[in-house]
């Protein structure tokens, strides 16, 4: 049977399938030949488990994510709720910049980034660290006259109460934005505004850590 491949990456292949008669997304992690088989199995299991656990945690925290429907360890596949009409935030941002007047584009993206910041804040308040925050790991699901913001790809996520890991989460996102949307340097500022609005005083220590991580990153870049 031909599989409708959605994405073929370095870590996993995503294709459409069925679960209990409904269309779903199947995410199949590759076996890494260069790793010892036991270690590879362990890493794959850990990532699959993280996806499932964090998805459940997010839903409990009021963060919209695709439901993980089923987990098949031996086949290293996850069955995930499929958002058929969604596009990635990366595509949405690029299309908005390409098709809207600059002022209008900025307004639309300000709104989106604010919402992304609020959601990251909500995750952090519940001690959920995403681990791989990029605009490819956020989906925009269109609805009549509005859209939902859906977070995906929790393979590197974990639970951590400390401010440091949360600061790193923000730093990873800032780096991703700088490399993917370098012309729209204002995006991250709006994300931080949403984040601050959501986290309040609780977020202050995270923002201090974020500045520290960023300063360390700069130093490393300078030293080379
Ligand atoms: N539930 C979903 N509904 C619709 N599309 C999805 C869904 N999950 C993932 N996608 C699409 O598939 C792409 C890859 O998914 P995901 O990020 O989970 O896999 P990945 O292989 O880890 O990607 P990456 O290369 O970012 O690590 C997403 O960027 C998105 O375009
Ligand atoms: Mg991804």
Residue range(s) occupied by CATH 3.30.200.20 in the chain? 5-80
Residue with the two structure tokens 């429907």 = 69
Copy the structure tokens of residue 33.
């030949």
The Å distance, Cα 28 to ligand 2 centre, comes to 13
- Residue 181 is classified by DSSP as S
**Does ligand 1 come within 6 angstroms of the Cβ of 80?**
yes
Residues of the chain with CATH 1.10.510.10: 87-223
Q: What is the pLDDT of residues 26-51, one digit of tens each?
A: 999 999 999 999 999 999 999 999 99
Q: What values do phi and psi take at 125, rounded to 5? A: -60, -30
Give the pLDDT confidence of 178-222 residue by residue, as tens digits: 999 999 999 999 999 999 999 999 999 999 999 999 999 888 777
User: Using CA positions, which residue lies closest to atom 19 of ligand 1?
Assistant: 153
Say yes or no: CB of residue 78 within 6 Å of ligand 1: no
For the domain made up of 5-80, give the CATH fold: Phosphorylase Kinase; domain 1 (3.30.200)
Which residues place a Cβ less than 5 A from the ion ligand 2? 137, 153
pLDDT in tens, 76-134: 999 999 999 999 999 999 999 999 999 999 999 999 999 999 999 999 999 999 999 99
* DSSP E strand boundaries for 94-192: 128-129, 138-143, 146-151, 158-159
**Helices H / strands E in the chain, number of each:** 6, 10
Q: Which CATH class is domain 87-223?
A: mainly alpha
> HSE-up of 174 (CA within 13 Å, CB side)?
18
């Amino acid at each position: 049977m031909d599989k409708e491949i959605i994405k073929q990456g370095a870590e996993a292949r995503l294709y459409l399938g069925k679960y209990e008669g409904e269309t779903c997304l199947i995410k199949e992690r590759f076996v890494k030949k260069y790793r010892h088989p036991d270690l590879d199995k362990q890493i794959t299991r850990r990532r699959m488990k993280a996806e499932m656990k964090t998805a459940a945690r997010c839903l409990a925290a009021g963060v919209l994510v695709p439901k993980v429907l089923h987990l098949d360890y031996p086949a290293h596949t996850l069955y995930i709720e499929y958002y058929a009409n969604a596009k990635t935030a990366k595509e949405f941002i690029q299309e908005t910049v390409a098709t809207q007047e600059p002022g209008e584009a900025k307004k639309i993206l300000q709104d989106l980034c604010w919402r992304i910041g609020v959601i990251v804040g909500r995750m952090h308040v519940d001690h959920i660290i995403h681990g791989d925050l990029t605009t490819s790991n956020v989906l925009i699901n269109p609805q009549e006259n509005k859209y939902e913001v859906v977070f995906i790809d929790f393979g590197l996520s974990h639970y951590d109460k400390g401010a440091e890991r949360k600061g790193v989460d923000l730093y990873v996102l800032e780096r991703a934005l700088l490399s993917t949307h370098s012309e729209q340097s204002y995006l991250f500022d709006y994300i931080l505004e949403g984040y601050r609005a959501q986290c309040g005083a609780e977020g202050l220590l995270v923002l201090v850590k974020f500045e520290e991580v960023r300063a360390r990153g700069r130093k490393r870049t300078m030293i080379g």
